[in-house]
Structure 1
């Protein structure tokens, strides 16, 4: 167990979604040429502000390790998990006040991607067919809350989640997934809070330009996969390259990646890590374009299952 704790602490120290200089709002000054997720940058800030978060995350990793060794001992309360979703829309322009149709299209994408009913699931290469997984978690739109604002961008310091900073506080965050749709700025597509953080800021933030399938959705991130990726973080998944050169994502059945992949790499794309494995560039936790990602693995499913199991960090979502 000591080895696990050291491994997690090392992984956390290496997490960095972006290496560009950050401005005072916590947003990179680099514009959006490539996919950019701020989840790990936000995690590092939260740990710096609350060092006890690191211990809570180590405890979650310890539990996850035990769950993966003996999942039958940690039965899901309802068997299959259905997540109510509250969408908080913060808008300055009419376009940013996205339609219910656009919002529902994003919920539909989440249901497809997390239940392996996405139309591109059959594109998974044969070499990965033995590990591709139906996560079996579903989502239902619970509520849409809208608020007009004069802010041109919100950054990554959770201002959109705080009423006293002009945002919207989360609704029932221990039993509902809150998503904030707003202009983040700095080329950031989205970010999520990992399990173990404060319920006052728990949830996922997606820029309105990369949310759902219609309206403001912007190519090449117009297939709803930014939310699929960020919800993966919210369910305790790491970036597939482990946020370090040939790093670990703490999942046994994903190949080691040199680093993030962008665009839609030509298959097979080989890693230069030990053993030169074919990289799983089509995994939702890489940085490829929306049309280039379309699978989770059994190991990733096990990590997600663990947080909803009895004793898990998000078990309150599994209660009747």
Structure 2
């Protein structure tokens, strides 16, 4: 496991641009071969447009590290109301309430160690596998017909001026946009510290929930689990750099992203040659290959909801 020792310069390097992607076998003809989450790309664009964003994120990181060191973490229940904004051109894009609810159900299992594959965590990591203890409830579904064939990653789906849907109460509700993103992107999230006018997570309608349009190998709802992890301040497990840091002490150092479903044990060639935690939700494996958060990631998320935390308004 790794220690977190970062200078301000090194910390800022974590926000370099990176795409998220995953490999598989026996794919449907129209499926994409690799997971592609554009969270880092979107963050890079936001930082270029707003130089003060890096300062805000540095402040959030300093608060997070202090909260974890002093055990000043949220004590009690955090329940996240979710507003689902569906933008559709075709009937299939106008996903059903059943499909939406299936995603909420997955989130509640994944963030509360209720997923059946949680028991598959190897013994090497059994001491750090976490019940995050954050729950989600469907608050509202908003639907809007559109002529867009795809929305891209410029947050157009979040803006009424571009035909999108503006976020509902973003300081107290998680907004989830479901639409065709395009470019092979499964989804992307906004990290804490960004503008409330674009805060939330976007997921392509083919990779949401476990039924309806959900497409293998991303048909188990783990794209949203991964992206909401970003929304709650988690980095990719490889730190978006070769042998990089995800700012979590109990996850092994990874060479890079992993794809498909790697055979265990999968060794890193980074210092110490650790076994990589390929089953972590913040890697790039197929949905069936990811099924745990670590205790360090849990603490990092929890720090957001304490008094003074970036998402304290969500705490109960």
Normalising by the residue count of structure 2, what TM-score does the alignment of the two structures yield?
Answer: 0.94
Please tell me whether residue 139 in structure 1 is matched to residue 136 in structure 2: yes
Secondary structure at the aligned position of 1:68 is classed as helix
In structure 1, the residue matched to 2:18 is 16
Please tell me whether residue 39 in structure 1 is matched to residue 36 in structure 2: no
Do 2:189 and 2:201's aligned partners in 1 also have CA atoms closer than 8 Å? yes
In structure 2, the residue matched to 1:219 is 216
In structure 1, the residue matched to 2:26 is none
CA distance in 2, matches of 1:175, 1:3: 31
Do 1:15 and 1:244's aligned partners in 2 also have CA atoms closer than 8 Å? no
Do 2:20 and 2:284's aligned partners in 1 also have CA atoms closer than 8 Å? no
CA distance in 2, matches of 1:312, 1:8: 19
Equivalent residues in 2 for 1:152-167, closer than 5 Å: 152-167=149-164
Are the structure 2 counterparts of residues 285 and 202 from structure 1 closer, same or farther at C-alpha, using a change threshold of 3 Å?
same
Please tell me whether residue 182 in structure 1 is matched to residue 185 in structure 2: no
CA distance in 2, matches of 1:272, 1:177: 38
Aligned with residue 114 of structure 1, among 108, 111, 115: 111
Equivalent residues in 2 for 1:63-74, closer than 5 Å: 63-72=63-72, 74=73
CA distance in 2, matches of 1:67, 1:238: 18
Do 2:20 and 2:35's aligned partners in 1 also have CA atoms closer than 8 Å? no
Give the unaligned 5+ runs of structure 1: 20-30
In structure 1, the residue matched to 2:48 is 48
Shift of 1:18: 6.0
CA distance in 1, matches of 2:201, 2:6: 31
Aligned with residue 300 of structure 1, among 283, 297, 301: 297
Are the structure 2 counterparts of residues 212 and 75 from structure 1 closer, same or farther at C-alpha, using a change threshold of 3 Å?
closer
Secondary structure at the aligned position of 1:105 is classed as helix
In structure 2, the residue matched to 1:27 is none
Shift of 1:66: 0.2
Q: Deviations over 1:19-49 (max 9, x none)?
A: 9xxxxxxxxxxx9320011000000000000
Do 1:16 and 1:41's aligned partners in 2 also have CA atoms closer than 8 Å? yes
Equivalent residues in 2 for 1:72-91, closer than 5 Å: 72=72, 74-76=73-75, 79-91=76-88
After the TM superposition, which segments of 4 or more aligned residues of structure 1 sit over 6 Å from their partners? none
Normalising by the residue count of structure 1, what TM-score does the alignment of the two structures yield?
Answer: 0.93
In structure 1, the residue matched to 2:306 is 309
Do 1:18 and 1:41's aligned partners in 2 also have CA atoms closer than 8 Å? no
Shift of 1:227: 0.2
Are the structure 2 counterparts of residues 2 and 300 from structure 1 closer, same or farther at C-alpha, using a change threshold of 3 Å?
closer
How many residue pairs get aligned? The number is 304
Do 1:8 and 1:61's aligned partners in 2 also have CA atoms closer than 8 Å? no
In structure 2, the residue matched to 1:127 is 124
Secondary structure at the aligned position of 1:42 is classed as helix
| Root mean square deviation of aligned Cα | 1.5
Give the unaligned 5+ runs of structure 2: 22-30
